[in-house]
Amino acid sequence: MKTNYYVIGDPVGHSLSPVIHNTLYGIYGLDCVYSARKVTRNDLPSFIDFAQNGPVGGFNVTMPLKKEIIQYLDLLYAPGSVNTVVKTPGAQLAGYSTDAQGFYAGLQSKGYAYTNQNVVFIGYGAVTQLLAQDAMDKGAARITVLNRTPDKAKAFAQHDRAVVDALDRISLYMEDCDILINTTPLGMAGTGNDFQDLSFIQMLRPSAIVCDLIYDPPTTALLAAAQKNGNAALNGLPMLIWQAFYAFEKFFGIMPTIQDYEVVHQKLMADK
């Protein structure tokens, strides 16, 4: 009997995770199948029962369940947000997050690192918190979090080297920004919402990189403005692939290679 792995959330039908993981199963000859499964908050208890008692090896978690899942876990190795759950031999559920690792791998692929850099985040949610903490841990000179409602991020402002401000004051932070990261859905296909004014991009130095966690469309208006300004641009696809690779490592103890990355990337592009 095949071992089942899932990505759960709502909505989840658009997820590219099944393509990534099933491609890896083929590469490594694993008798597993990975599927997207719609699970709402109300469905979560029954899914947990199914995962613990059925032929399930683990699952990934997307919105809106990354925090909700924590109360159902036996072991927790992630601060406040979980995207990977592994079922242990004793049917205990262990939660991890590979989002920060995935993003940083993508950033490094562009030749950038956090050390001594001024990092500016647009938006403040669970993923921002993980990435910002990772940036601090890796030696960022300063972290700035810009949000429409800055009060939500006040707790983060208590950190050393952290600044929290309103998004409409973004122009004040662009001249010395080295890494700009959008973690909001602004510009995502199907949302109908986008940045109303991208003139702040023109204040960036040519050496700065602009990152968008969105991968559909591949080039958002934010990234197009960055490229027009002469800045490096990074969309969310490398993060998506690498966080899946780190999740695969949690599931099987195997870290996929850069060659695997190229195979998976080509597969995703061919399926578009």
Active site residues: 66
Most distant CA atoms of the chain, gap in Å? 58
Which own/partner contact pairs does 62-68 have at CB distance under 8 Å and 24+ positions apart? Answer: 62/7, 62/8, 62/9, 62/12, 62/15, 63/9, 63/10, 64/9, 64/10, 65/8, 65/9, 65/10, 65/39, 65/41, 66/97, 66/126, 67/126, 68/41, 68/44
Where is 17: in which H helix or E strand?
Answer: helix 17-28
Q: Which helix (H) or strand (E) holds 99?
A: helix 99-109
Dist. CA 65–CA 8, nearest whole Å: 8
By the 8 A CB rule, do 200 and 208 touch? no
Which of 64, 43, 62, 46 lies closest to 247, judged by CA?
Answer: 62
Going across the sheet that includes 209-212, the strands are: 162-166, 142-147, 118-122, 179-182, 209-212, 232-234
The count of residues in the chain is 272
Cα–Cα distance measured from residue 144 to residue 185, given in angstroms and rounded to the nearest whole number: 19
DSSP-assigned beta bridge partners for residue 3: 32
At residue 8, the 3 state secondary structure works out as strand
